[in-house]
Amino acid sequence: MKEFNFMGCVEIRELLGKSADNEQELMELIEEVPVDSIYYHTHSYFLRHFYITGPYPNDFANWAAIQVRDRVLGEKLGILTPSSEKDLEDIRSELIEIIDNHLSSIKIVPGVVYGQAFYFMQSKIIEVPTGPSVSNLDEFYQALKTVDASAIYNHVFEARLRDRRGRSDFSIWLDEVLQRKELADKFEKIDSYMYSLEGLRTKLIELCKQEVEK
């Protein structure tokens, strides 16, 4: 039987030397920055917030609401979900459309007064072995309790970007190796973007516990 090898990840970050002081500049820079920057400020937001996602689950929404104090735009950007069905260019286009529509509805371009400018960054995700390797559901269940949170990110968020089937590594292994299709489907029904990594871990553990105790 093929074992499941838990792999964590580290994020290699790079400051791009581009910053925005107001929402117009933010929109213009979103249009031109590399796609890895869009990734950093949306998808990998979750990797940097293990325990709390907050009401603004990406860097753009958080900046608009907290630094510019434009909670209306913050809430609009916060609704954007970087799901596995969207590629990063789709997300870029949505961000631009949301900000453009917002600016069209107001007379003055909101900007930073007392807050910080928005500094664009980009990142690459590098897999690192964290262990353990498991071969059955009980071992998988126990490992989920202790594995590094970055492994949850890697096998759920990153996997869905790598795998155009849009499934997590966990679901694929449960379905194709352990023949636990029902449990795999339950994993996929979880809206991962609604949870912090630790919240997602708790949800996955609950589903495994129900299956193990049957």
**For residue 1, pLDDT beyond 80:** no
Residue 176, C-beta contacts closer than 8 angstroms, at least 6 positions apart: none
Distance CA 187, CA 82 (A): 18
Helix, strand, or coil here: 29? Answer: helix
Helix, strand, or coil here: 12? Answer: strand
Report the pLDDT value the prediction gives residue 163, as an integer from 0 to 100.
Answer: 59
Residue 38: C-alpha distances to residues 20, 29, 51 (Å): 15, 11, 22
Which residue, among 61, 75, 56, has the nearest Cα to 118 in the 3D structure?
A: 61
Helix, strand, or coil here: 178? Answer: coil
pLDDT greater at residue 161 or residue 85: 161
**pLDDT tens digits for 85-138?**
678 899 999 999 999 999 999 999 999 998 899 999 999 899 999 989 999 999
**For residue 18, pLDDT beyond 80:** yes
Query: Could you identify the residue written with the tokens 């030397």?
Result: 17
Residue 92: C-alpha distances to residues 12, 32, 87, 89 (Å): 21, 10, 9, 5
Query: Residue 5 has which token pair?
Result: 């090898």
Report the pLDDT value the prediction gives residue 85, as an integer from 0 to 100.
Answer: 62
Domain extent listing, the chain: 4-8+125-212, 11-122
This prediction's pTM: 0.87
Mean residue pLDDT of the chain comes to 92
Question: Of 29-38, 43-52, 117-126, 188-197, which gets the smallest average pLDDT?
Answer: 43-52
